[in-house]
A and B are shown apart, each in its own frame.
Chain A
């Protein structure tokens, strides 16, 4: 099965910082990658699909890029409501594996 490795698993940042999270696939998955945000006690929320397409209603400070085996999620200017855990997911064919997650905390 294809594995997804997210890095870092934890990062500490300040409001206004530019933040980049990486997701690496063990085999190529074209652009079949999605990104989610999850805050404590809540269901995940879709941010990005098809590696770089912003889900409707998601702020434009979020962006995604990459294809094949390396993908990034970038938050251009971190806002207080962005402190959360972020997951990537391969979505091409089952099993639809998630990455291990990246927790973004306030510095």
Chain B
């Protein structure tokens, strides 16, 4: 069974940092792209970034809104993807989802982890 499980969310002050984790199981992690998507309270979905698979050299892409502040990394030995979030702003407050990216769509999603940026 394909599963993705996010963790690491919480309350952080503006300017602070937080690291989210996404643990996956049920599929070969290194074969797949994995993306981060966020959703601010009461708002729509925003793509945050992606990590391509081993065949594509694990290259990474970011949304303009987070580029230079967020860093995506992955550890294939632990079947985990990470999102290091630095210089956090109040507008980064959202539920953060990790999702498997296959056949040009996001076919499996985690349950999400809430990040609140507030003083």
- Give chain A's interface residues, CB within 8 Å of chain B: 1, 32, 34, 36, 38, 43-46, 49-50, 55, 87, 89, 91-92, 94-101
Contacts and interface: CB of A to CB of B under 8 A. Distances in A.
Contacts of A87: 44-45
A87 B45 CA distance: 8
A43 B112 contact: yes
* Centre residue among B35, B64, B105 by max chain A CB count within 10 A: B105
**B interface residue count range (under 10 / 10 to 19 / 20 to 34 / 35 or more):** 20 to 34
B50 A94 contact: yes
Contacts of B70: none
B44 A101 contact: yes
Nearest to A48: B105
B111 A100 contact: no
B63 interface: yes
A49 B103 contact: yes
A95 B66 CA distance: 12
Contact of B109 (A32, A43, A97, A99): A43
B106 A44 contact: yes
Contact of B106 (A1, A46, A99, A100): A46
Interface in B68-119: 97, 103-107, 109-112
Contacts of B46: 98
B47 interface: yes
A46 B107 contact: yes
